Amino acid sequence: MLALVAALAGCGAGGGPADDPAGGGPGRPVRITITPSDGSVGVGPDGPLEVRVERGRLESVKVVRVRDARKEPVPGELSGDGRRWRPVDGVLALAAKYTVHAVASDGERRAARHASFTTVVPRERFIGYVTPENRATVGTGMIVSLEFNREIADRMAVERAVRVTADPEVPVAGHWFGRDRLDFRPERYWEPGTEVTVALGLRDVEGAPGVFGLQRKAFTFTVGRSQVSTVDAAAHTMRVVRAGEEPVTVPVTAGAPGSTTYNGRMVVTEMLDVTRMDGATVGYGGEYDIPDVPHAMRLTRSGTFLHGNYWAGDSVFGRSNVSHGCVGLRDVKGGGHATPAGWFYDRSLIGDVVEVVNSDDRTVAPDNGLGGWNLDWREWRAGSALG
């Protein structure tokens, strides 16, 4: 279902002719290689899992394994020359999702790479990869999303086997996107402080002829404070409304003509201190390849981010739209906590809502990231297999 290579962010923002998005200085950019490649599915238990850099050294490698919404760090070892990382235990877990985030430097330039892959599920079994994680604290716009490793033929049986409940109680409904994704949400954003429980009773449920569920698990997450941010692409501003505080408006730059930003409500699904953005992954050829974009928050699967921008001049923010579809906030190289981008990143949660208005583009599709809030309650309930 992924619409792009998720290791790479999908947009950058333009700058003046003196800008050097790759970081400046002579020589080739730092290149990080992750094996298995991003987006791989059905990876065997023997892997291998490895992170390499051609030159320079790996500054950090963070690998996380998620099974049944339970997140576990994967310990690893760095080679003596700092150019290769491998897990201590070379055997990969079955029916798991792995995410890898690596940062490297050659002394002059820094680069980051982010990748994910899933391991093989035993034959004749299906599982659902669950968002958010167990015991997470999330924003009020979080949508529970299950992505199945196989297409589901009996969607009614599978949906009936998944229960999403809230305390305080509120009606929650499911909505299918195709035959391999089932999302759940209430009619309106969750109330702060709500505890949500997701119970998977999928074990031995026949999701397709001869294919049975594997999971019987329950997990919970907590809804934190409310924060909803509205980006006005025409006014080049973002208004941040946070419960109990006065609204704050910060200048931004959005998508330029020809690469405009989607309108509509989007949900933060991933937060990265630094990431790489390569235009080649989303159809922009070699227009940009920025290895160290700071304070990056993913809003869609197709590559829309809200991120820090250090390469555009200060006069851009609040005055013009120059990006390739993302929303950019002023930042400094390496990311600064006192900048607008650093301030916003430090105050944000996965599950926060960012709504874009007055952009010369269509409304984001409800299955592009967690875009389900762009359907009204009647439309959402119509997507349930339970009627």
pLDDT of residue 8: 44
Range 137-167 burial, b when 16+ CB lie within 10 A, else e: ebbbbbbbbbbbbeebeebeebbebbebebe
Give the list of residues 6+ apart from residue 148 with CB closer than 8 angstroms, or none: 126, 127, 128, 129, 158, 180, 181, 182, 207
pLDDT of residue 292: 93
DSSP code per residue over 56-111: SEEEEEEEEEEETTEEEE--EEE-TTSSEEEESS-PPPTT-EEEEEEEEE-SS-EE
Fill in the DSSP letter of residue 296: E
Residues taking part in catalysis? 307, 326
Q: Please tell me the pTM assigned to this model.
A: 0.82
Q: Is the peptide bond before 366 cis (omega within 30 degrees of 0)?
A: no
Residue 5 has pLDDT above 60, yes or no: no
Instruction: Return the top range by mean pLDDT from 15-19, 108-112, 122-126, 261-265.
Output: 261-265
The whole-number average pLDDT for the span 201-217 is: 94
Range 43-53 burial, b when 16+ CB lie within 10 A, else e: beeebebbbbb
Percent of the residues in the chain that have a pLDDT greater than 70, as a whole number: 90
pLDDT of residue 288: 61
pLDDT tens per residue, range 278-324: 865 555 555 568 999 999 999 999 999 999 999 999 999 999 999 99
d(CA 30, CA 27): 9
Average pLDDT score over the chain: 91
Place of tokens 């809200």: 306
Range 203-226 burial, b when 16+ CB lie within 10 A, else e: eebebbeebebbbebebebebbbb
pLDDT tens per residue, range 181-192: 999 999 999 999
pLDDT of residue 26: 46
pLDDT of residue 213: 95
H/E stretch holding 242: strand 237-242
The pairs formed by 73-76 with CB atoms below 8 angstroms and a separation of 24 or more are 74/49, 74/98
d(CA 344, CA 303): 19
All domains in the chain, ordered by first residue: 30-116 (2.60.40.3780), 122-223 (2.60.40.3710), 225-369 (2.40.440.10)
Nearest to 125 by CA among 29, 210, 235, 246: 210
Assess contact for 296 and 271: CB atoms under 8 A: yes
Answer positive or negative: Cα dihedral of 61, 65, 71, 76.
negative
Q: Please state, in angstroms and as integers, the Cα–Cα distance from residue 172 to each residue in 184, 221, 268, 382, following that order.
A: 6, 15, 20, 13
Indicate the burial class of 286 (C-beta count within 10 angstroms; 0-12, 13-18, 19 or more): exposed
pLDDT tens per residue, range 323-353: 999 999 999 999 999 999 999 999 999 999 9
d(CA 275, CA 28): 18
